[in-house]
Structure 1
């Protein structure tokens, strides 16, 4: 599978000198983290179109489907023989071209911060300043398990979205230091999503996976 990288640079502003300003900044950070946590808890189901861009500027597109807790599906564009599915416990990547299946716990992936509403984001997330008050960028990383990678989630303030936010996309860095960027569009929340959406057909010769 091609690894995707985003031409995304997030600027860090200088820390305020005055203590009151520093306190206000810390309070704003906590408020933004709480809002992002409320967004994640508020998403029961979500569908969106996604675009991945690699370091050469090449893109792949497809449809993203989320159903909490822990279910996610990346259905790639026609002609791309890849499928990524999360069933609530594990993420599975299926490559139908080479008939290969890879599976790992959701908690071992940066995506766990996005699709596990039971996690306390305040313990492993931090706000990254963007210079745009309409945008909240949160970087999540488990300090006890850095090998699980990092995800930087990008939200836009939008009163029509859960907790007043709209997920714009994210940049993930996995345990092999591979970057993947995802940009979303046409987000829809609370739409009916059947559990069968997160089943998949095993391409390996010996049979089908449970959930085929």
Structure 2
């Protein structure tokens, strides 16, 4: 990575332990958003977090490990799971939440990182896989409840339905660069539900 950090002034000191770790991880996400993965440096993160770079090296082996932990910390926070009593409104809430998350500066930085050469770094490749798998796993109860209510076929595979829900959103974010918003999310819900009712997502 480029040895030049992007932040020229050190933030106020943050102490040690949990508070220090939280400050460093938050600074890493902010630095990643500002500079991109290739230009991110431990020096830059340290200045932004208000710690000495040796503090970071005592807790993280290298900048790749720091970025990996920062992404996990930022994006693995509890995801609100809607329970409106109807599958369409539940899926709409999930899809709109995904759009809202991935169109923030941090969300776009995550996409840029996992789609860049950084994905060749084993630790970051593992993080990419874990983040997306975890997001789908947490949302599966939405589909399970819909099956129990008789709104979806009994053999619906929750993971496959949720992937189909997310696919149109990620396609526009990653490949076409189109603007995404609530209309994109709502369209993805209609497509996913139509396919589910056609039993496209039958569990193996």
* Category of TM-score, reference length = shorter chain: under 0.3
TM-score, normalization: structure 2? 0.23
Q: Going by fraction, where is helix more abundant, 1 or 2? A: 2
TM-score, normalization: structure 1? 0.22
